[in-house]
Amino acid sequence: MKTFSGAPYAVATHSALQRRLLRNASFPARAPQQDALKMTSVPMVPEVHLFLAEDAVLLWARLEAEAGTPLPAPYWATAWPGGQALARYVLDNPEIVAGRRVLDLASGSGLVAIAAAQAGAAEVTANDVDGYAIAAIQANANANGEQIATVADDLTDGDGSDAEVILAGDCLYNADVAAKMLPFIGRAMSRGATVLLGDPGRGYAPPGLLRTLTTYQATALGAQEDGQRDQASVLTPVAVALTS
């Protein structure tokens, strides 16, 4: 077992995909590598360490070159602002997840799932449709000494099954994604699940559907794709609006 910045990292990886993912990972790098992953603490959630991209575009190009085929953008290699806000909220309010079954939808790096585990959730499942994200979640869970189950299926046609708490950071990324996520959120809430979302105000949450629990301010929060947004909010569904 190695240690980096206080976070245990299991040397053994779980799959060939994960080994490929971490081939250029650094602890930190011996020499600058713009296409590398580097384990670092998350700005708003320093309790969590993640393998993040030095340059996500260059990392994407390298992974595509290695795979010999087009790949989805490596969203899992960035600590997105909505996920940071939601993870911070969970750690600051552990009673929301403590002793409960938690599903982290569109988990990406696994940041929110790891925060839920640290906050005392009984079980945590991280979901993402990208196989590289699943490998990253496993690696990041190892790095933080947490046990997290992973599911690679698209779950948005359901209602979250038996999860008592559903967490989703940056799930309203664009209009198409929001159109899939909002009905899922309504079904999950209707069966009694607690649902919390993290979002930096991209504008894809129709007025009246969600209410703001808190807003975090930070300098240059998140990735370039968000235009260096300086705030992110934690939202929860409004029952009447989502079930009417």
Return the structure tokens found at 33: 């590598």
Supply the DSSP symbol for 115: H
39 versus 91: which is more confidently predicted?
91
pLDDT value for 213: 97
Query: Is beta strand 37-42 parallel, antiparallel or unpaired with respect to 45-53?
Result: antiparallel
Q: What percent of the chain has pLDDT over 70?
A: 79
- pLDDT reading at 95 higher than 80: yes
pLDDT value for 207: 77
Name, in order, each residue with C-beta under 8 angstroms of 3's C-beta and a sequence gap of 6 or more: 9
Mean pLDDT of 22-33: 60
Mean pLDDT of 110-119: 98
- pLDDT reading at 204 higher than 80: yes
Q: Which of 2-6, 121-125, 128-132, 234-238 has the lowest mean pLDDT?
A: 2-6
pTM score, whole prediction: 0.88
Return the structure tokens found at 155: 């779950």
Identify which of 11, 142, 169, 196 has the alpha carbon closest to the alpha carbon of residue 76.
Answer: 169
Encode pLDDT of 131-189 as tens digits.
Answer: 999 989 998 998 899 999 999 999 999 999 999 999 999 999 899 999 999 999 999 99
Name, in order, each residue with C-beta under 8 angstroms of 97's C-beta and a sequence gap of 6 or more: 90, 116, 119, 120, 121, 165, 167
219 versus 37: which is more confidently predicted?
37
Mean pLDDT of 74-95: 96
CA distance 109 to 112: 8
Mean pLDDT of 20-24: 64
User: How does residue 12 score in pLDDT terms, banded at 50, 70 and 90?
Assistant: very low
Q: What percent of the chain has pLDDT over 90?
A: 63
Name, in order, each residue with C-beta under 8 angstroms of 133's C-beta and a sequence gap of 6 or more: 75, 76, 107, 108, 109
